[in-house]
Amino acid sequence: MGKVLIIGAGGVASVAAHKVAQNPDVFTEVMIASRTKSKCDALVKAIGNPNIKTAKVDADNVDELVALFNDFKPEIVMNLALPYQDLTIMEACLKAGVNYLDTANYEPRDEAHFEYSWQWAYRERFEKAGLTAILGCGFDPGVSGIYTAYAAKHYFDEIHYLDIVDCNAGNHHKAFATNFNPEINIREITQKGLYYEDGKWIETEPLEIHQPLTYPNIGPRESYLLHHEELESLVLNYPSIKRARFWMTFGQQYLTYLDVIQNIGMSRIDEITYEAPLANDPTKVEKVKIVPLQFLKAVLPNPQELGENYEGETSIGCRIRGVKDGKERTYYVYNNCSHQAAYQETGMQGVSYTTGVPAMIGAMMFLKGIWKKPGVFNVEEFDPDPFMEQLNKQGLPWHEVFDGDLEL
């Protein structure tokens, strides 16, 4: 049915590539391209399908991307590299006439700040080119928006309160590790919190607001209010929403380490210069420039290598309150994903799995012609039903609780 190019060969891309290979009726030709080609080759070997092509590409370089797109001629590019590359890849898609999908919104390297404006600015150009761009098609953002769209379509006349709840109750037996790219992850968590209420955005200190929430099959876990990108599009697409928040669980040990990392300056994203003794003459020094957070990433455990000893599960869902036929009702829709089951299937832990599977389904929706319209869209702007059906088939089954206590 279609030709897909996956950019990136990290944890999320590894899962997406496994799932793409499991659906050969949809994905008839596949290429994986990334900065380090050997990682793409290792991934193809792990999947065991020698027909998957690989290439080296620097996704910060539009010309290199365009040359690769013109050579392979994919119908859709799955951008599973880092948020820094979103705009260069979108730019190259426009130049080469290729459709686009990603799992995280653009972030400038020198500012830990995310918002959709940079990517929404491409709406008219994608529309005029007759190309589709699907933004934020992982789990959160991604399935969180699709769950909301599904709730709005089937169960509510108006959604009033939306709480996205993300629990990782897994244990990887490391003192400190992040579950996806450490640089991106730490930038996200150390930002100020933000939520939406009565038409306004309210800022909080980082991790200032927290409370225990009970997760299915897991129990109560302390959950912290964070800013998360999907809130921005969801409150626009569902204007009846009075309050929208995002919660994520963290263990005490994780927070203690994070505190230390921040207090000693290792989460800084500005460039610093330090004096390093020369290897051949330690009495002399050379000036070396580093970004502390990038250096920290290099010494932290690689999230792709957490899978083998990872126990427990994730539980991510939407807790929604609103009205249907004049009556108030609540709805909770969620998925629990086992880290070990994810590892057995794809060699990656549950956080990569819950992101890579929806990315594959989004590309499938496009290639089947179900999610295909010219322009730049967030996932909740498409029909959620066929996507929800695939979640059940592709390893992320969901469950519903009607009129229960949302705790929020």
The bridge status of strand 243-249 relative to strand 158-168 is: parallel
Q: Which is nearer to ligand NDP, 99 or 103 (CB)?
A: 103
Minimum distance from residue 270 beta carbon to ligand NDP (Å): 20
Shortest distance in whole angstroms from residue 162 CB to ligand NDP: 17
- The β-bridge relationship of strands 200-204 and 399-402 is unpaired
List of residues contacting ligand NDP (CB under 6 A): 8-13, 34-36, 39, 57-60, 80-83, 85, 103-104, 138-142, 180-181, 184, 303-304, 351, 355
Q: Which helix (H) or strand (E) holds 189?
A: helix 182-189
Name the residue nearer to ligand NDP (CB basis): 80 or 167.
80
User: Residue 141 or 307: which CB sits closer to ligand NDP?
Assistant: 141
> DSSP letter at 289?
E
Of residues 76 and 129, the one with the C-beta less far from ligand NDP: 76
Residues 275, 287 contacting (CB under 8 angstroms):
yes
* 3-state per-residue secondary structure call for 89-132: HHHHHHHHCCEEEECCCCCCCCCCCCCCHHHHCCHHHHHHHCCE
Cβ neighbour number for residue 354 with a 10 Å cutoff: 27
Which residue, 268, 267, 228, is CA-closest to 248? 228
Q: How far is the CB of 287 from ligand NDP (least distance, A)?
A: 25
Cβ proximity to ligand NDP, 13 vs 129, nearer residue: 13
DSSP one-letter string for 362-403: HHHHHHTTSS--SEEEEGGGS-HHHHHHHHHHTT---EEEES
Least CB distance to ligand NDP at residue 334 (A): 14
Token pair in block for residue 398: 């969901």
**Closest distance to ligand NDP from the beta carbon of 122 (Å):** 17
Point out the residue whose Cβ comes nearest to ligand NDP.
Answer: 10
CB of 128 to ligand NDP, least distance (A): 27
The residue among 23 and 346 lying less far from ligand NDP, judged by its C-beta, is: 346
